[in-house]
Amino acid sequence: MKKFHITLIAFIFLSIALGYCQHENDSKVILITLDGFRWQELFTGADETLVSNEKYVAQPEHLNKLFWRSSAKERRETLLPFIWNSVSQFGQIHGNRRLNSKMNLTNTHWFSYPGYNEILSGIADDDRINSNDKIPNPNTTVLETVNNTSEYHGHVAAFGSWDVFPYIVNSERSKIPVNAGFDVASGLYLTPNEQYLNRIQKNTYSPWSSVRLDVFTHLYALEHMKKEHPNLVYIAFGETDDFAHDGNYEAYLKSAHRTDSFIKELWDFTQNDPFYKDNTTFIITTDHGRGTEPLDTWRSHGRDIKGADEVWLIVFGKHIESLGEVSRSEQIYTNQIAASIAKLLNVQVSKQAQGSAFYFINNP
């Protein structure tokens, strides 16, 4: 009888171990957005018409020293070193319209809430999502769809700098934890880092009443990933859009440069954590573009701003072939992101979703 009990206990522990290993081999997805970051800076770096313009730059000489280089290739590598020196070697970068790679919104509003709804739900709901008001999203996001499955329930999380994200994700209905705006980490068991972040965020000034500094969004997300290991994480950075609205091109570029380092830190973490290593796909995009002509429209977006529907996409990690900067003719759309995430996680997307998964997402 004693031998039987030992065998049974060994079998139970072996079953648990095998189940854990199987779960660890499941795909993970990190979705990241940079609010209103233009494809022009992504692919060509600092804009010649803006980087020395005293209307938008307080110290042109300083900014030129940081980010201006003679060629577009050098400028973009200087602005976004991780994207162009690393991701370009093992991932894909779509949306350089000068190479005829195009990505566009399908909603007709071309501003934030409609853009985020389209990214997350695959639906361009122009009639109901037509403002940035704090209205609970009537559409089901891919975050909610994934969280509603037995396999991933409780393993989805969202972090955003803008305080509208709890409404975009509809956290009340979806039950997905959303740390956004000036939210602090909550729960019974906060890590020392979370406790420290809570203290310093409360005592750190933000230039905006509804958007916190992106470093807090990044660090809250990273600490949650270390502690809880969610399978699907959404991280929404906001500074680039708000600095652009302020007409502060220096801060806009510096924010993009910092975000590049945040993405590198997230990638390095996933490649050194057994749960995420070699099992994680990164999807990075923006909610809308910005104008270029007249020059001052770089600060703006919306349906009246030409080019504000022109966006971009970066993908790398598991299930992604190494193609680098895509130079072939293509037309992809923002409403394909939700279906692509569902495909990566082997989850059926809502029948209402309009977009199909990207052609370059390999089968899990």
d(CA 150, CA 153): 5
Query: CB within 8 A of 52, min separation 6: which ones?
Result: 60, 63, 64, 68
157 occurs within a structural domain? yes
Give the helix, strand, coil percentages of the chain, each rounded to 5: 45, 15, 45
Length of the chain: 364
Q: Position of tokens 């609970």?
A: 136
Q: List, for residues 251-264, the tens digit of each pLDDT value.
A: 999 999 999 999 99
Of the candidates 197, 314, 204, 298, the one whose C-alpha atom is nearest the C-alpha of residue 252 is 298
Give the confidence band of 10 by pLDDT, cuts at 50, 70, 90.
Answer: very low
Q: Quick check: 1 pLDDT over 60?
A: no
d(CA 214, CA 157): 17
Instruction: Tell me the pTM.
Output: 0.93
Query: Which structural domain, as residue segments, surrounds residue 292?
Result: 29-344
293 occurs within a structural domain? yes
Give the confidence band of 26 by pLDDT, cuts at 50, 70, 90.
Answer: confident
d(CA 3, CA 9): 10
d(CA 122, CA 106): 9
| Number of alpha carbons in the 13 Å side-chain half-sphere of residue 352 | 13
Number of domains in the chain: 1
H/E stretch holding 104 = strand 101-104
230 occurs within a structural domain? yes
Q: Quick check: 148 pLDDT over 70?
A: yes
d(CA 29, CA 219): 18
pLDDT at residue 9 in the model = 41
pLDDT at residue 293 in the model = 96
Average pLDDT, integer, range 321-326: 97
20 occurs within a structural domain? no
238 occurs within a structural domain? yes
* DSSP three-state, residue 310: strand
Of the candidates 315, 331, 325, 245, the one whose C-alpha atom is nearest the C-alpha of residue 280 is 315
Please report, rounded to a whole number, the percentage of residues in the chain having pLDDT higher than 90. Answer: 90
Q: Quick check: 69 pLDDT over 80?
A: yes
The domain that holds 204 is classified in CATH as 3.40.720.10
More confident: 19 or 138: 138
Query: If you write DSSP's letter for every residue of 255-307 in order, what string do you get?
Result: HHHHHHHHHHHHHHHHTTSTTTTTTEEEEEE-S-----SSGGGGG--STTSTT
Give the confidence band of 67 by pLDDT, cuts at 50, 70, 90.
Answer: very high
d(CA 137, CA 145): 14
